Amino acid sequence: MNPALPSRRALLATAAAALPLPALAQAPWPNRPIRAVVSFPPGGAIDTVTRLIGPIMSEQLGQPIVAENRPGATGTIAAAAVAQAQPDGYTFLFDASSHASAPHLVRGLTFNYETAFAPVTQLTTVPLILVAHPSVPANTIQEFLALGRERARAGNPLVYASSGNGSAAHYSAVLFLQQAGFEATHVPFRGGGPAVQALLSATVQFHMGTTASSTALAQSGRLKAYAVTTRTRIPQLPDVPTLAESGLTGFEWIEWGGIFAPAGTPTPIIERMNAAARHALAQDSVKDRLAQIGMLPVGSAAPDFARYVREQQAIVGRLTREAGITLD
């Protein structure tokens, strides 16, 4: 054999090295724990949902899902952490409806909400309820609309509470007032609890409260419930109409929660994560617990959730500009 010529074994080794590794040689996903980066503190709505469905999803995926709360800055701290993560299926963002409003409210972001994430699934919706203090002299939504318009014309507008500038309660009230055709004075509070307390003490006249914070108070008569912000009535208050059926055609506003992956995450991983979440949401124990805290399970397909998020970002962007909403 000519020593200048490579051996047959060397030629085979060189050829094998030049070929891509077959898919079967790659480690199956997931083969280690998955981070669930939660955009709000422990005890909040999206944190509660994450910890409720996480163990069930872990059973489906064969690896633990570890919740990691990264609250602050309207959810953008958690979002930034996931936007910068490797798109390998081991980091996901569990976010709330602030995902649609934060891009319009928070300045100096180092990432683009529209391009940094791949939506996985919408987890839940949270209906809001238009509630008022019992002293407000209106017993129906029609009477309340008439009162609001009359007070605005007289230069003595109604006063409403929100859970903070740029919150879902704030945006829903802005949209309501636009469609109702009257102005009201906004008083922001640091959270839904203080907003409801201000309403109970008659410091303000009305509020867009969540089902969790307002249903029991409405059922007991401590608050008046005029309408809900969903397209259909809710089981907790079957006699309370929707705003859409009360004359504000097409009105809908909900809080929501969902899962997002870093952009570029492989589609098969997103599909498996989606399937695991939908399986968890379909369990009776999960549905019962969500109903207790005023939430409804969704479990949408990834393309449907992506389309929904785009629609929400457009609506919130328009409201932010028209109403001049800021975090200050």
Peptide bond into 30 cis (omega under 30): yes
Last residue of a domain, which of 246, 274, 293?
246
In the predicted model, residues of the chain with pLDDT beneath 50 are 1-2, 11-12, 15-17, 19-25
pLDDT of residue 44: 83
How far apart (Å, rounded) are the C-alpha atoms in residues 52 and 293?
12
What are the φ and ψ backbone dihedral angles of 27, each rounded to 5 degrees? -65, 135
User: Which amino acid, 41?
Assistant: P
Are 135 and 88 in a shared domain? no
Give the helix ranges, DSSP H, for the chain: 8-18, 45-61, 76-83, 98-105, 113-116, 141-153, 168-180, 192-200, 211-220, 267-281, 284-292, 302-323
Task: Please answer whether residues 178 and 153 qualify as being in contact, where contact means their C-beta atoms are separated by less than 8 angstroms.
Answer: no
Strands 254-262, 117-132: pairing kind: antiparallel
Residue 48 maps to a domain: yes
pLDDT of residue 16: 46
Among 269, 242, 221, which Cα is nearest to 86's?
Answer: 269
Are 117 and 215 in a shared domain? no
Task: Please answer whether residues 153 and 130 qualify as being in contact, where contact means their C-beta atoms are separated by less than 8 angstroms.
Answer: no
Are 53 and 199 in a shared domain? no
Between vectors from CA 81 to CA 78 and to CA 87, what angle results, nearest 5°? 125
Rg (CA), the chain: 25
Q: What's 239's domain CATH number?
A: 3.40.190.10
Burial class (CB in 10 A: 0-12, 13-18, 19+), 250: exposed
Are 141 and 195 in a shared domain? yes
pLDDT of residue 57: 98
Map residue 199 onto helix, strand or coil.
helix
Are 111 and 168 in a shared domain? no
Residue 201 maps to a domain: yes
Residue 12 maps to a domain: no
pLDDT of residue 43: 84
Burial class (CB in 10 A: 0-12, 13-18, 19+), 305: buried
pLDDT of residue 190: 83
- Distances in whole angstroms, Cα of residue 60 to Cα of each of 32, 63, 77, 261, 319: 14, 8, 29, 18, 40
Last residue of a domain, which of 183, 218, 246?
246
pLDDT of residue 105: 94
pLDDT of residue 10: 52
Residue ranges making up the domain that contains 296: 32-126+254-323
Confidence (pTM) = 0.85
Per-residue pLDDT tens for 255-310? 999 999 999 999 999 999 999 999 999 999 999 999 988 899 999 999 999 999 99
Q: What's 96's domain CATH number?
A: 3.40.190.150
How far apart (Å, rounded) are the C-alpha atoms in residues 227 and 128?
9
Are 310 and 207 in a shared domain? no
User: Which amino acid, 234?
Assistant: I
**Total domains, the chain:** 2
Last residue of a domain, which of 246, 268, 303?
246
**Diameter of the chain by CA atoms?**
106
Among 293, 180, 194, which Cα is nearest to 227's?
Answer: 180
pLDDT of residue 1: 47
Between vectors from CA 200 to CA 199 and to CA 205, what angle results, nearest 5°? 35
Per-residue pLDDT tens for 46-87? 999 999 999 999 999 999 999 999 998 889 999 999 999 999
